[in-house]
Structure 1
């Protein structure tokens, strides 16, 4: 396992982290005992960063991670969690209101609940589960979180950027107001390279890259019949509804044609694509079994994509938002 600096925090985190959304149950049925076993296997293999949120299964993901932490006797595991706003911004709103969306009572309640579910005395990284372009000007949220840091309830502060809007974090990165920003980044969603990564590197802000495998599409196993096998109402079923699934298959075929036989699997190309960017501190694929852990960490070997291939892959960028 390779490790990277997590911005200016002084942490060294595994470049492959553990995304905890799927163990909350939103992606289909899960066995909690298997989830705990998978987490412990990930820790044994060198993963030391886990990302979760109150939203993931209404706290269920946090509870399962807490179980694993209680059974783990090894090295430090950094856990990042999130609080959702009191009102979610409309996905089409370019300038949503931000002041008052994370009031003092709300943040304190979320912190206490996350501490209880995770079974820890301090949260390593506490993230706002959305962001807005004017958030760096309306700083009521930061006052409360700084108080919570002083009280020893949280260590570091981060934000999770809105889907498909990485540039909303650029001003925040320039100012260095938080330790980390979480953003969608993968072979399709390439926009963070344009401005966010440079701003983050300049202020030594850590970047957490989520959905490196595009919620499963970039694993490369999907066929025209895959959609029918997904549980109705599951996250994947909702995300790729209507003609979205067919659009994705078409894009996947083009990617596979571009890559040819350069990689054994599309998943390897996708993971190595994200790892090839030094602005990224950690990427957090979702993993439900030890086999998936082993598959993902195999790519943490320092072998990155050549610049010429990165340039060729730029034409496959696909800006869309399937989370609405």
Structure 2
């Protein structure tokens, strides 16, 4: 496993880390025993950074990670998120009182005195212009409740707005073979301000694993079934906002240029890690074998410039028109 610095946190984190949305819910059936095996495998493979949120399974993921920390005794960094417990989810709800309440709940779930990294959880766009929200985060740092804060964003423009806050430590954003815009517009600015980049949805909700076909189906409680058009939350979180059948066509061409010694998932993850502005990538894993497959991307050989150019070509051919300007 290779490690990179996570922005202003100063943490040296595994470049392939662990996203815990899937072990909380919204991805079909979840087995806590299997999830614990996946988490334990992650630590064994060198993963030391775990991303979660208070709404993943209503705290289920946070509690599973707390168990991991207690049972392994290994030094791990935990990032959680706050804001999505608001109902309705509106900008006015992002205030000191609510954020403090959410943090206190996460502290209990995680069984820690201080949260390593707290991220605003894809709030409404106007929140990024509310100075008082970031002052509330500063107060939580001063109170010893959180060590660092960052933002999880839907749009590049939101990330650019967040960069104006000098103590912002990290930005979490969708960046993958189907989402190139962050590298074009954001990464250099973030790097200049020593803001870490956490890449989520790296496999486009599984599309980039190459394991799906036009006949693939998903359970009723899987967002890949019920959120394809943004019915429950931002459309971009499901298949990166790409039409499923169009994505399959793009993946078929990506498989033709994939290095023979890599799985499709490893290829997709390595492509992200080729950008040195990236701090880490957080694929989700519900099974130990998925963890091992993902981790291997860290030590895989760099991709050639010819392959990188071909990925750009395929993006331009199939994906750019429908996603590039939307997020």
TM-score class normalised by the smaller sequence: 0.7 to 0.9
1:277 is matched with 275
Q: TM-score, normalised by structure 1?
A: 0.87
Greater share of helix: 2
Q: TM-score, normalised by structure 2?
A: 0.87
Residues 88/234 of structure 1: CA separation in 2 closer, same or farther (3 Å cut): same
User: How far apart are residue 7 of structure 1 and its match?
Assistant: 0.9
Match of 1:176 among 136, 161, 166: 166
Q: Which residue of structure 1 lines up, in the alignment, with residue 234 of structure 2?
A: none
Q: Aligned in 2, Cα 1:225/1:259: closer, same or farther, shift over 3 Å?
A: closer
1:7-58 deviation digits (Å, cap 9, x = unpaired) = 1221100001100001112111111122112111111110000000011111
Alignment of 1:1-324 (within 5 A): 1-74=1-74, 76-85=75-84, 86=86, 98=91, 100-131=92-123, 133-162=125-154, 165-173=155-163, 175-227=165-217, 230-240=218-228, 247-264=243-260, 265-301=263-299, 303-315=301-313, 316=315, 317-318=319-320, 319-320=322-323
Per-residue deviation, 1:261: 4.9
Deviation at 1:134, TM superposition (A): 4.7
- Cα deviations by residue, 1:177-232 (Å, 9 ceiling, x for unpaired): 410010001100111011111110110100000010001110001112212xx211
User: How far apart are the structure 1 equivalents of 2:306 and 2:161?
Assistant: 30
State the Cα distance separating 1:309 from its structure 2 match: 2.8
Distance 1:311 1:63, change over 3 A: same
Structure 1 runs of 4+ aligned residues shifted over 6 Å read none
Residue 174 to residue 202, structure 1, CA distance change in 2 (3 Å): farther
**1:93 is matched with which residue?**
none
Say if 2:13 and 2:49, in contact at 8 Å, map to a contact too: yes
Conserved 8 A contact 1:176-1:205: no
Q: Number of residues paired by the alignment?
A: 307
**Residues 213 and 248 in structure 2, CA contact (< 8 A), matched pair in contact too:** no
With over 3 angstroms needed to count, the CA separation of the structure-2 counterparts of 1:259 and 1:32, relative to structure 1, is: closer
Moved more, 303-312 or 278-287: 303-312
CA 1:38/1:250 → structure 2, altered by over 3 Å: closer, same or farther?
same
Pair 261,252 (structure 1): closer, same or farther in 2 beyond 3 Å = same
TM-aligned CA distance change 1:84 to 1:174, over 3 Å: closer
Counterpart Cα distance in 2 of 1:136 and 1:29? 35
Distance 1:169 1:300 in 2: 26
1:282-312, Cα deviation, whole Å (9 max, x unpaired): 1000001110110000110162323333233
Q: Distance in 2 between matches of 1:283 and 1:193?
A: 14
Distance 1:137 1:226 in 2: 41
How big is the alpha-carbon RMSD for the aligned residues of Structure 1 and Structure 2?
2.3
User: Residue 7 of structure 1 contacts residue 205 of structure 1 at CA under 8 Å; is this kept in 2?
Assistant: yes
* Unmatched runs of 5 consecutive residues or more in structure 1: 90-96
